[in-house]
Structure 1
Amino acid sequence: MPIKYITADELAAVIKDPAKKPGEDYLVVDVRDDDYAGGNIPGGRNIPSRDFHLHVNDLIKQAHEKELKLVVFHCSLSQQRGPKAARVYSEIRGNLYPALKDSPDREVAILRDGFSSFQAKFRNDPKLVENWEKDVWDNQYH
Structure 2
Amino acid sequence: MKWINGDELAGIMKTEGKEAKKDFLVVDVRDDDFIGGNIVGAKNEPSNEFLTSVDALVKETKDVPLVIFHCALSQVRGPKAARIYEEAKKKLYPDEDKQEVAVLRDGFTQFQVKYKDDPKLVENYDAEVWKNEYH
| TM-score category (smaller protein) | over 0.9
Name the SS for the 2:59 alignment partner.
Answer: helix
In 1, the alpha carbon distance for the partners of 2:14 and 2:114 equals 15
Match of 1:25 in 2: 23
Q: Report the secondary structure of 1:79's partner residue.
A: coil
- Quote the residue 2:131 is aligned against: 138
Q: Which residue of 2 aligns with 1:91?
A: 87
Give the count of matched residue pairs: 135
Aligned to 2:121: 128
Gap regions ≥5 residues in structure 1 = none
Instruction: Indicate the RMSD between aligned Cα atoms, in angstroms.
Output: 1.0
76, 81, 86: which is aligned to 1:80? Answer: 76
Asked if residue 8 in structure 1 is aligned to residue 10 in structure 2, the reply is: no
- What amino acid maps onto 1:76 in structure 2? A
TM-score, structure 1 length as denominator? 0.92
AA of the residue aligned to 2:47: S
Question: Identity across aligned pairs (percent)?
Answer: 54
**Structure 2: 5+ residue stretches without partners:** none
Q: Aligned equivalents of 2:82 and 2:90: distance in 1?
A: 12
TM-score, normalising length: structure 2: 0.96
1:61 aligns with 2:59: yes
What letter matches 1:34 in structure 2? D
Aligned-partner Cα distance in 2 for 1:25–1:39: 22
Q: What CA distance in whole angstroms lies between the structure 2 residues aligned with 1:140 and 1:128?
A: 22
Which of the residues 109, 114, 117 maps onto 2:107?
Answer: 114
- What CA distance in whole angstroms lies between the structure 2 residues aligned with 1:60 and 1:112? 22
**Structure 1 CA distance for aligned equivalents of residues 31 and 133 of structure 2:** 15
Structure ranking higher in helix proportion: 1
Give the partner amino acid of 2:58: I
Q: How far did residue 92 of structure 1 move?
A: 0.9
Question: Secondary structure of the residue that 1:5 maps to in structure 2?
Answer: strand
